[in-house]
Structure 1
Amino acid sequence: MTPNPGHTPAPSIRAVADSLASAFLDAARVPLDPGSGGEVLGHGAAAREHGWNRPVLIAAGASVLGARRRWLSPLVRAVLDAYPRAPFDRPRELAAWIEASAVLGDACAAATARGQHLVLVRHAVYEPVGAASPLPATPAELAGLLGLDIGELAWFADQRGWNRRAGSARLQHYRYEWRARPGRVPRLLEVPGQRLMRLQRQLVHEVLTALPIHPAAHGFVPGRSARTGAAVHAGSHVVIGMDLTTFFARVGRSEITAALRRAGWGEAVAPVLAALATHAVPEAVIRAMPPGGNPEERFALAQALRLPHLPQGAPTSPMLANLAMRRLDDRLLGWAAAVGARYTRYADDLTFSGDQRLAARSDAFIRGVSGIVADCGQRVNERKTRVRPRGTSQRVTGIVVNAHPAVDRRSYDALRAPLHNCARTGPAAQNRENLPYFREHLRGRIDWVVSLTPKREPALRRLWEAIEWEEPGSAPLR
């Protein structure tokens, strides 16, 4: 680090993150062996084995910063935890993750407090995502990308809302299922038909993964997760959790269109893509809303569902919601930074954490958040707002973060009980929801707990190995 005289501009945290991401990925592309003639590996197991590891990335980071800083090792450890494999095809995503990391934020803040700034002796050199694959410029090009003719594209996009008025359920693009929630407003699942579902999944894999997602967003973003979001808040003096109500239904088609335009889509094709991913619910479905919630909440939900919105059940909804929430994320990140706090969002869960400054003005801070949320078209569920000071169980998306991300005892017991009962009475008796992949479901839950709390692994291993599965292939935990 170096003193920061008035004529020497300090690099932004984004510039530091970009440069580190570029250096990490360059370092991971190593020769096969010293005699390989300089051949470089760009992908594959060999690249991960030889170049995507802690010593190599620390050395690469030191080459960017001009020295091996103390915070570089924990940053590299966090990167390898979030990205077990090098994201060669997603450099901007890696840079955004590093930019949002608590380690880098703390390092920049500490340098600023000392009147210094980080030095960059090497800068990012990678090309922007999407430079080699331009976006479809016309509806015809979008139709070609999806394997449709222009008439089929118009049918599925349904920009005039004909589908909402279709008399036969067979002609509707979605099927509907109300989920009652005691004491709360019901939830409507809007599940696309098979062909529309395939088209939306194609959009996710071929188009939406390249969209710019805010660094504060951790839900439904490749390389980020509930764990990476929770890690930002570990060891904080106070953690504030807030929840958005009827989140997807409040993200309208016009917001998606505007977000796509800001992301580089042309004015001819952005409305069509937005229409493919949004939907207005038929009036008969709204009238069938089961009891639950107060009249104001029910009215607000019905009004949102009547307008084209992101359906809860469509594969495109989470990523497009993240894109549309970029303005909200920017404003909340700035609001948090004003009191030295951190901010992350996992879908509709907002989390803030900080020191005594945030704790001392938590009420005013929460009121400010609610105002910003309302100004951005969303609404805070005030009943679910929680202020968790140090000394209480601080949870973020179900993960305890008092010292480091970990699974709480209640969640562990909720997994241990079905494992024990599977060994005692058999898996079939415990699969009460008739899940077709019940074994894989349990394995996934075990892997999740062990990734957060490794000390639980021996006990869970014993329970797993005591289960007798009817079908073959029950591999031991590793």
Structure 2
Amino acid sequence: MHNFALANKKSPDFISELPQIEPKPYSNGHKIKWINHTLTSTEVTPPDNLIKICILIESGEIAITSVSDIANLLGVPAGQLLYILYHKKDNYRTFEIEKKNGKKRVINAPCGGLSILQTRLKPVLEYFYRPKKSAHGFIKGKSIITNAGMHIKKNFVVNIDLENYFESISFARVYGIFKSKPFNFAHPAATVLAQLCTHNGKLPQGACTSPILANIASASLDKQLTQFAGRKKISYSRYADDITFSFNQRNIDIIKKNDDGSYSLSETIDNIISKNGFKINYDKFRVQTRNTRQSVTGLVVNDKVNINRRYIRITRSMIHRWTDDKLKYALLFATEKGYQAKDNNHAIQIFRNHIYGRLSFIKMVRGKDYPGYLKLMSYMSHNDPLKTQEGLRAMKETENFDVFICHASEDKKDIAIPIYDELTKLKISAFIDHVEI
């Protein structure tokens, strides 16, 4: 076994020696600059053989023990690394986004050198993380679709939300991850990495390293709930902070029915979750029975993985608005969502991107040949001067229509539908939204 650091001397107490190794300031006219200048994504690259290094770390042939080891692993001078972590003040940009329930979600997005360092660390985390079968969030080859697919055609679907999921994973917990298997990093190295990956003592929403570390921190929870589900012959999955159980016979070890007909979560599940350092958000606890619409991570699972019809209707309505008066509704959309459009063209671009994003989601869930998707995409493409390749494909797939009726919402009843009815009588194939979409 050998140290990864280029120097073989014992790792210093890096906190006390920080003033000696931090970047040195010098005067440049009226400004102060640093000899060890600002890190950029193109200046220093991590080792090309990063995976080989990870293999050697995993086998125990390389020991990560010091700050220098971490600096070498990330391809950055040690002084620069410590300066970014302990002296630089503007490492994060904080902003809010609106949740579906109207509340605000705080996002802490890393900036500058810190963002670059986290991006370089991410492949190392991905190498060492071994996903549990039950975990579906932020994992290559998995998605909300694979997560929802675990719970098709079940009599009971139970949704549990973990409250403040990322924020509940503390600096100490992240430090413990790097100290234990499979990393086994020494105290100085684990401390620096925990500092690199946390903000105000917890995992920040907005850092590229947070989802993987959250999954690693949840591995014990996944293991225990998977074992529990296996004993009870029920299905269990987790997508980030969304936990789902499903089964056909009412299971008293999961839920219990109250006198008023509502359901409560059993203490068994509550205890497993709390012992793993998480807390349940009971405002989002739901039990969905077979005779109601059952959804998992936003997808309907009663008979197959499907999209909520309301999502389709809203998408169709947005395309109507785009067709009717794109500027008017783009400005309204930007105002409703709190987007800061630079000008009218920017507002239109934001609205357009949002519509195409919704269409892409429908395509992802239902497939590229789903008729409903093709008709919506074709409808949008017919009314978009900047046609996409996918839009042109959809238009070609729906060429079986002789007439494509586009109309303003107020003209639908008195003009568009009568025209459609007359064309139908003449056996002319016509497209109109309320029939074809």
What does residue 279 of structure 1 align with? 199
Alpha carbons of 1:469 and 1:200: their partners in 2 closer, same or farther (altered >3 Å)? Answer: farther
SS of 2:167 mapped into structure 1:
helix
| Aligned counterparts, 1:361-440, within 5 A | 362-363=255-256, 366-426=266-326, 429-430=329-330, 432=334, 433=339, 434=341, 439-440=352-353
1:346 and 2:239 correspond: yes
Does residue 1:447 correspond to 2:360, yes or no?
yes
Amino acid at match of 2:255: S
Alignment equivalent of 1:325, drawn from 204, 207, 218: 218
- The corresponding residue for 2:117 is 199
Q: Say whether 1:153 aligns with 2:81.
A: yes
Show CA shifts across 1:17-62 (max 9, x none).
xxxxxxxxxxxxxxxxxxxxxxxxxxxxxxxxxxxxxxxxxxxxxx
Contact 1:238 1:358 survives alignment (8 Å): no
The aligned counterpart of 1:8 is none
Aligned-partner SS, 1:219: coil
Q: CA deviation at 1:224?
A: 0.7
C-alpha distance in 1 between matches for 2:278 and 2:130: 21
Confirm or deny: 8 A CA contact 1:427 1:469 kept in the other structure: no
Q: Secondary structure at the match of 2:140?
A: coil
Instruction: Tell me the CA shift for residue 412 of structure 1.
Output: 1.2
Partner residue of 2:383 out of 436, 442, 467:
467
Aligned to 1:19: none
Aligned residues, how many?
315
- The residue aligned with 2:407 is none
Mapped partners of 2:114, 2:105: distance in 1: 22
Structure 1 length-normalised TM: 0.59
Cα shift at 1:192: 1.3
Give the Å deviation of 1:206.
4.8
CA contact (8 A) 1:328 1:373 kept: yes
1:312 shift after superposition = 1.2
Q: 2:147 aligned to 229, 234, 247, which one?
A: 229
Q: Map 1:94-113 onto structure 2 (within 5 A).
A: none
Relative to its length, the structure with more strand (as a share) is 2
Q: In 2, Cα distance between the equivalents of 1:128 and 1:236?
A: 45
Evaluate the alpha carbon distance shift between residue 317 and residue 182 of structure 1 in structure 2; reply closer, same or farther with a 3 A threshold. closer
Q: CA deviation at 1:248?
A: 0.8
Distance in 2 between residues matched to 1:406 and 1:234, nearest whole Å: 10
In structure 1, the gaps of 5 or more residues are 1-126, 164-170, 281-307
Q: Secondary structure at the match of 1:351?
A: strand
Structure 2: give runs of 5+ residues left out of the alignment. 1-50, 257-263, 342-346, 395-437
Aligned partners of 1:315 and 1:332: how far apart in 2?
26
Provide the secondary structure at the position in 2 that maps to 1:249. Answer: coil
Match of 1:33 in 2: none
Aligned equivalents of 1:462 and 1:278: distance in 2? 45
In 2, the alpha carbon distance for the partners of 1:186 and 1:205 equals 31
TM-score (norm 2): 0.64
Structure 1 position 336, deviation (Å): 2.0
1:262 matched to which residue of 2? 181
Tell me how far apart the structure 1 counterparts of residues 184 and 329 of structure 2 sit (CA, whole Å): 51
CA contact (8 A) 1:237 1:359 kept: no
Assess, with a 3 A threshold, how the Cα gap between structure 1 residues 210 and 415 changes in structure 2: closer, same or farther.
farther
Decide whether the 8 Å contact of 2:307 with 2:365 is kept in 1: yes
Alignment partners' CA distance in 2, 1:427 and 1:216: 45
| Alpha carbons 1:157, 1:273 under 8 Å: kept | no
1:140 aligned onto 2:68: yes
Q: Distance in 2 between matches of 1:411 and 1:157?
A: 43
Other structure's SS at 2:392 match: coil
**Residue 414 of structure 1: CA displacement?**
2.0
| Alignment correspondent of 1:456 | 372
Partner of 2:261: none
Specify the alignment match of 2:45 in structure 1. none
User: Per the alignment, in what secondary structure is the counterpart of residue 251 of structure 2?
Assistant: helix
C-alpha separation in 1, matches of 2:104 and 2:352: 30
| Superposition pairs of residues 168-187 of structure 1, within 5 angstroms | 171-178=89-96, 186-187=104-105
Q: Residue in 2 aligned with 1:131?
A: 55
Q: Deviations over 1:240-259 (max 9, x none)?
A: 00111111111012212222
Residues 85-130 of structure 1: CA deviation (Å, up to 9, x unaligned) = xxxxxxxxxxxxxxxxxxxxxxxxxxxxxxxxxxxxxxxxxx9995
